Amino acid sequence: MGNYFSPEYMAASFPVLLSYVGVSVFLTVISQSLALVLGSCIALVRVQRLRWISNLFAAYISFIRGTPFLVQLYLICFGLPRIIKALGAEDIRALPVVAFVVLVMVLHSAAYMSEIMRGSLESIDKGQLEACYSIGMTTAEAYRRILLPQAFRIAVPSLGNEVISALKSTSLVFNVGIVDMMSKAELMGSYSYRSLELYLDAGIIYVLLCFILHGLTELISNRHRLSGNAELVSEPATER
Amino acid sequence: MEDSIVDLTYALEAFRYLLGFVPVTLALAVGSMFLGSLLGLAVMFVRWRNVPILGKLGTGYVVIGRALPTLIILYVVFFAFPVFLLYVNDGQVSERFNAIPPFLFALVGLTLHSGAYLAEVFRTAVQSVNKGQMEAALACGMTWSQGFRRIVLPQAAVLAVPLMGNQFLSLIKNTSIAFMITVLEMFGAANYLSSISERYIEIYLALAALYWLVGMFFETLFRKLEVRLAVYKGSKV
């Protein structure tokens, strides 16, 4: 029997691929923090029912949810530089591709997160807002001090799922020239002809990262568990 | 070519070209949805009934299958098969590998991917049906499979259908990843087209519009199905 599958090679390449894990983690952390802020803002605008701006956001969310991440990635990373160039910018090479990838990931996740936040904001009892008004708070104060903290608590599990799926989508960004685990695995595979071992390694790393993120989500939602009679909406586990 | 940023005529042309690849994308999505449902049902059953070894395997599959990026599942399937063939043929370089269309690998990969999610969907759906329903069915003298088919299934379907609809919509989007194992579906076609004309904006806008339309079509379809299934609602004790 020949040596078609080499566990030794798999073990030896694991640390090499692991050394690139920072790229995926960096992209996830940066994009998801920005997406949470943007998504919450969009949700706040949408629950106010400002008609035309709300419709505009609805169209944006529908577009993001209706098209594959890969299409959005290509559209922005290959299309946007052309638009910037056509608008008169001379040296678009100065903009690193990471900036475009972060932009795509933020726009992508913000759409999903805004829907999550809107759902949890709407699940909060109306009486809460009325109570805020009755003690003289402004709308802004009411949201900042009373409604948003509750909405975030309700949203934690769903937001965690969104972060996990964003992490998984970082496996696609090597297509536009990001040097990460996947491109390293591709490169190493083209020399060693042992792609299977390399992608199994990458798979193990992704699974471990997902477990860590899942654990963190559980930790946060346990710490901030809603007390008393507040209704916890538990979404069944589906892919978005 | 340099005259305008977005050439709408070209975008329309690209749209028409890409339209021809919708059947490939849909075949991939429908095929892996169907096979994934069978796999998901099987996994749900072995977990539900606590089949000794298979139940544990099923749980492991669901946990890992949902944590793995789709691309890695596709790559592993794609690269594992030649290795497997080498083992079977004991080192003989096989011509058979090249004869297998990449579409099949994508189908297997996407089935494995969606099976893990669907197993969870079915589990949630079945668990949502009150346990007393099955007990009552058994008490009436039905067998377990009769009780499941006649009593539990229709009620579970009410919850499962919208979730399966979501899964299918996300599966349509996920088929775009199949182009990386050289399947020529909608995304692969767009990628090919843009490598010739380099008109990325028009092509990917047209592609996005196409995915969007296909998605909306199925969304409306599922909504209608949901309304029909609503007759089984309200059977809660």
One-letter amino acid identity for A54?
S
Mutate to test the interface with B, among A71, A169, A200, A201 (most CBs of B within 10 A): A71
ipTM: 0.89
Give pLDDT tens digits for B84-141.
877 777 766 666 667 788 999 999 999 999 999 999 999 999 988 888 998 999 999 9
Whole-number pLDDT of residue B8: 86
Domain boundaries, given as residue ranges, for chain A:
23-178
Contact A82 B201 (CB under 8 A): yes
Q: Per-residue pLDDT for B1 more than 80?
A: no
Q: Which CATH class is domain A23-178?
A: mainly alpha
Q: Kindly give the parts of chain A with pLDDT less than 50.
A: 1, 227-236
Give pLDDT tens digits for B2-52.
556 778 889 999 999 999 999 999 999 999 999 999 999 999 999 988 889
Coil vs helix vs strand at A73: helix
In order of A23, A164, A202, B180, B220, the CA distances from A183 in angstroms are 11, 20, 11, 13, 39
Give pLDDT tens digits for B180-220.
998 999 999 999 999 998 889 999 999 999 999 999 999 99
Whole-number pLDDT of residue A234: 46
Is residue B69 less than 8 Å (CB to CB) from chain A?
yes
Report whether A28 contacts A162 (CB < 8 A).
no
What number of C-beta contacts closer than 8 Å exist between A and B? 130
Whole-number pLDDT of residue B94: 62
Give pLDDT tens digits for A47-73.
887 888 989 999 999 999 999 999 999
Whole-number pLDDT of residue B227: 86
Give pLDDT tens digits for B45-66.
999 888 899 999 999 999 999 9
How many helices (H) and strands (E) are present in chain B, helices listed first? 11, 0
One-letter amino acid identity for B225?
L
Q: For the purposes of burial, counting CB atoms within 10 Å of the CB of B1, is it exposed (0-12), middle (13-18) or buried (19 or more)? A: exposed
Question: Would you list which residues of chain A are within 8 Å, Cβ to Cβ, of chain B?
Answer: 1-2, 4-5, 62-63, 66-72, 74-75, 78-79, 82-83, 86-87, 164, 168-169, 171-172, 175, 182, 195-196, 199-200, 202-203, 206-207, 210-211, 236-240
The residue written with tokens 């690139």 in the block is A20
Whole-number pLDDT of residue B86: 79
Report whether A128 contacts A145 (CB < 8 A).
no
Contact A203 B86 (CB under 8 A): no
Is this structure's pTM higher than 0.80? Answer: yes
Q: Per-residue pLDDT for B229 more than 90?
A: no
Q: What single-letter DSSP state applies at residue B166?
A: H
Question: Closest partner residue to B76 among A1, A199, A240, by Cβ?
Answer: A199
